[in-house]
């Protein structure tokens, strides 16, 4: 194995950490090991509390930064061992960290990811690249979504395609047959559905979308949700739990609310509508939608998305990249690009003044 990299991703869903050991032939990945590490319940609760503004204490956030850094270091050692390589053989670790705040439209704009990369680098003895978003913000960009750049090099194909990355938030990458790559956060992905089913039934997520499939879409509620100004905003745009949270949902629910399963069906339809409407508005010539992230396993969501787009909707796995690991692989690729001194941001996506080399390098 030549120059293996580790990619670490903790997404908006806050369900755990994705880790991959990957090498690259040019930009094409070969995944040698991949694992999902579920967060302990207490850690997940603390991360959600901090992300949702329930925990504003600076000292506690700083402690979380170090604690998560230690967990990321352990995950790096574990994934290297799973792939049969020593940490000393790993070229670099690319760690996205976990987002506590992302407010690119604030004055001044800011974004905050925790999971101390210095702890990772010093614990593993491996050069660690992290803090990928702030360079783009410093150039006037949104700092997100970043994975569009990797979608472009590994999932483009001479036809007008769109990539829907449906994690906690759903983002869309437009890959035209010719021309500039574009992308943006379409709106909520799995986060609202996950939080609703956890609140109502105690389940971590809606397995295969079965609960959503058992309900009926409430047309009035769906229209009310889609009336949020975010959906009508033109790109560049990005969002997160700061907007699309249970607080947001409950503020939109009527009294009395629909049956719980009908709310779930409506939230599933909301995600499908946000993605499909975004594609229709910005890339009406799209002939295929490739889906990655946890949403690919939600059969109800995939069916609703196919119905709304009226084009083939399939997993990125059919095009050579396992949908569960696309983002973790992307941050390994970002680390590779950073060490090579190569830019990896797309101003056409984020709105930045120019491309940037992303990420800060923490030596071992």
pLDDT band at 166 (very low <50, low <70, confident <90, very high): very high
Mean pLDDT for 217-235 is: 97
pLDDT at 56: 60
pLDDT at 55: 55
pLDDT at 85: 97
Q: What is the mean pLDDT of the chain?
A: 96
- Other Cβ atoms closer than 10 A to 130: 29
pLDDT at 60: 87
**Is the pLDDT confidence value at 319 over 60?**
yes
**Is the pLDDT confidence value at 32 over 60?**
yes
Mean pLDDT for 137-159 is: 95
What is the fold, at CATH topology level, of the domain defined by 5-143+325-362? Nucleotidyltransferase; domain 5 (3.30.420)
Helices 326-339 and 148-155 sit at what angle, rounded to 10 degrees? 100
pLDDT at 48: 87
Tokens at residue 355, please?
Answer: 């491309």
pLDDT at 99: 94
pLDDT band at 321 (very low <50, low <70, confident <90, very high): very high
Phi, psi of 258 (to 5 degrees): -65, 170
pLDDT band at 283 (very low <50, low <70, confident <90, very high): very high
Per residue in 167-197, pLDDT (tens digit) is 999 999 999 999 999 999 999 999 999 999 9
pLDDT at 49: 85
pLDDT at 58: 80
Half-sphere exposure of residue 227: CA atoms within 13 angstroms, side-chain side: 7
Helices (H), the chain: 41-51, 58-82, 117-124, 134-138, 148-155, 191-201, 210-214, 219-226, 229-232, 246-252, 260-282, 299-309, 326-339, 347-350
**Is the pLDDT confidence value at 54 over 90?**
no
Cα 207 from Cα 134, distance rounded (Å): 35
Cα 10 from Cα 98, distance rounded (Å): 5
Per residue in 78-115, pLDDT (tens digit) is 999 999 999 999 999 999 999 999 999 999 999 999 99
Placement of tokens 């249970």 in the chain? 246
pLDDT at 51: 81
pLDDT at 295: 98
**Is the pLDDT confidence value at 68 over 60?**
yes
Where exactly are the structural domains of the chain? 5-143+325-362, 148-311
- Nearest CA among 272, 332, 321 for reference residue 292: 321
Mean pLDDT for 125-137 is: 98
Range name among 44-48, 198-202, 308-312 with the lowest pLDDT average: 44-48
Selected residue with higher pLDDT from 58 and 236: 236
Cα 75 from Cα 80, distance rounded (Å): 9
pLDDT band at 313 (very low <50, low <70, confident <90, very high): very high
CATH number of 148-311: 3.30.420.40
């Amino acid at each position: 194995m030549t120059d293996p990299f580790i990619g670490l991703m903790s997404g908006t869903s806050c369900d755990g950490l994705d880790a991959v050991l990957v090498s690259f032939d040019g930009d094409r990945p070969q995944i040698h090991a991949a694992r999902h590490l579920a967060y302990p319940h207490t850690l997940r609760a603390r991360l959600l509390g901090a992300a949702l503004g329930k925990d504003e204490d600076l000292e506690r956030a700083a402690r979380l930064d170090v604690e998560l850094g230690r967990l990321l270091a352990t995950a790096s050692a574990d994934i290297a061992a799973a792939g049969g390589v020593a940490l000393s053989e790993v070229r670099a670790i690319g760690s996205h960290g976990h987002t506590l705040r992302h407010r690119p439209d604030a004055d001044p704009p800011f974004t905050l990811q925790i999971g101390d990369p210095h702890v990772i680098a010093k614990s593993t003895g491996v050069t660690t690249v992290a803090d990928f978003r702030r360079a783009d913000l410093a150039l006037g960009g949104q700092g997100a979504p970043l994975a569009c750049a990797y979608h472009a090099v590994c999932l483009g194909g001479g036809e007008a395609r769109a990539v829907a990355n449906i994690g906690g938030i759903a983002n869309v990458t437009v890959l035209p047959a010719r021309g500039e790559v574009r992308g943006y956060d379409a709106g909520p992905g799995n986060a609202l559905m996950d939080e609703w089913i956890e609140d109502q039934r105690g389940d971590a997520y809606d397995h295969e979308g079965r609960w959503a499939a058992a309900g009926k879409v409430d047309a009035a509620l769906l229209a009310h949700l889609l009336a949020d100004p975010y959906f009508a905003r033109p790109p560049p745009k990005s969002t997160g739990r700061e907007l699309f949270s249970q607080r947001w949902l409950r503020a939109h629910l009527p009294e009395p609310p629909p049956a719980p399963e009908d709310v779930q069906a409506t939230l599933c339809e909301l995600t499908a509508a946000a993605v499909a409407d975004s594609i229709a508005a910005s890339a009406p010539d799209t002939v295929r939608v490739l889906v990655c992230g946890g949403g690919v396993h939600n059969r109800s969501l995939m069916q609703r998305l196919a119905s709304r787009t009226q084009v083939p909707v399939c997993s990125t796995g059919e095009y050579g990249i396992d949908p569960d690991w696309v983002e973790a692989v992307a941050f390994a690729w970002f680390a590779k690009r950073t060490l090579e001194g190569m830019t990896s941001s797309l101003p056409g996506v984020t709105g930045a003044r120019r491309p940037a080399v992303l990420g800060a390098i923490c030596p071992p």
